[in-house]
Amino acid sequence: MIIENMIKDNVKNMPPSGIRKYFDIVNEMEGVISLGVGEPDFVTPWNVREAGIYSIEQGHTHYSSNAGFIELRNEICKYLKRRFDLVYNPDDEVIVTVGGSEGIDIALRALVGPGDEVIVPEPSFVAYKGCTAFTGATAKVLELKESDEFKLMPEDLEKAITPKTKVVIIPFPNNPTGAIMTREELQGIVNVLKDKDVIIISDEIYSELCYGEKHVSIASFPEVKDKTLVINGFSKSYAMTGWRLGYLCGHKALISQMKKIHQYAIMCSPTTAQFAAVEALKKGDDSVEEMRKEYNRRRRVLVDGFRKMGLDCFEPLGAFYVFPNIQSLGMSSDEFCEKLLRQEKVLVVPGNAFGDCGEGFIRACYASSMENIMEALKRIERFIKTIKNK
């Protein structure tokens, strides 16, 4: 028996993340400034950590219900109503998941299979296509254009939908572009989808990280509320990436079926993290606001820095990324990133890691200290000057 032949083709054929090789290079180097990792540089607020510690000290080390502690589900529902005017029943419309990524995975596994299509706007988070492929369904890429500020355009969505379309992913605020969708812009998407037999998966993990415009959830539109699944979590907003906690909300007819997959695969999300998350939702607003203000300060510096170098740089209003256009430099995204890393020891991520239409762009993350950002900009400017002088 050839062991490798026992693996399914759709798993074997899935390439590793395009980001991975850069971190492998970094592991062999010293003195690298990373603007590559999509993770807050802040630590989890102390009161949130303390709540997790206290739960362990009190002996709360057992399973929760499959969907998560009811106290946490109650707080999630209160939070969603308070912040985004979303109404869910904590009893049967919420699952506490192992990060937002599990929510994406179980939603797609419950909804699609061979012969189905999932519309994936790109550039976007790498997991959408990967999780779709593992179900046997087909990811149908819909390009988000720089000329449209990387927003999803209703006319493009309308053209992409076919009888095979089962799911449309709405990835805003967007990783890697930082684009957001306003209420007026989302209304156009709602008008396209309201009479279609499709489910919307709205990934809102960066919902608290908006600068200027407040985040609007597509689930707040009554016309599509019942056909929308909202994915959110604690990793980005509360600097809790390592706690691995998110949630999936939607109509009980959908959630009840997705809970089966969660039940068999996971049992329940980590209970220590659940106790910490209750504290985050009850008393975390000030910490979120402090982090958001600091991200905004860094955002402006990074965008201005790239523009002063002569690069076209779209104004990101969400998440913690900038996505400058490097096409004028005459090299591919991969070539730029690898040479920058080896010559100047700055890690940024090639745009094509987030889909082929990201070619010609790079992603730089401003979840790093201002000191690191300023030094990285100096090194990038020096690198670009060497390119232009050749």
Decide which of 283, 307, 334 is a domain's last residue. Answer: 283
Residue tagged 């900038």 (tokens): 322
Tens-of-pLDDT digits for all 390 residues of the chain?
A: 888 889 988 888 888 877 777 888 888 888 999 999 899 999 999 999 999 999 999 999 999 999 999 999 999 999 999 999 999 999 999 999 999 999 999 999 999 999 999 999 999 999 999 999 999 999 999 999 999 999 999 999 999 999 999 999 999 999 999 999 999 999 999 999 999 999 999 999 999 999 998 999 999 999 999 999 999 999 999 999 999 999 999 999 999 999 999 999 999 999 999 999 999 999 999 999 999 999 999 999 999 999 999 999 999 999 999 999 999 999 999 999 999 999 999 999 999 999 999 999 999 999 999 999 999 999 999 999 999 887
Can you give the CATH number for the domain in which 99 is found? 3.40.640.10
Q: Show the domain range for 197.
A: 46-283
Q: For residue 14, how far is the Cα from the chain centroid?
A: 20
Residue 228 CB: number of other CB atoms within 10 A? 25
H helices of 17-145, in order, are: 20-26, 46-57, 70-84, 99-111, 127-135
69 and 83 both lie in a single domain: yes
- Asked if residue 148 lies in contact with residue 330, where contact means CB atoms within 8 angstroms, the answer is no
- Domain total in the chain: 2
Can you give the pTM of this predicted structure? 0.96
228 and 326 both lie in a single domain: no
Q: Identify the H or E element spanning 285.
A: helix 285-308
Decide which of 240, 262, 283 is a domain's last residue. Answer: 283
Residue tagged 């094509």 (tokens): 352
301 and 364 both lie in a single domain: yes
Residue 280: name the closest of 34, 9, 46 by CA.
46
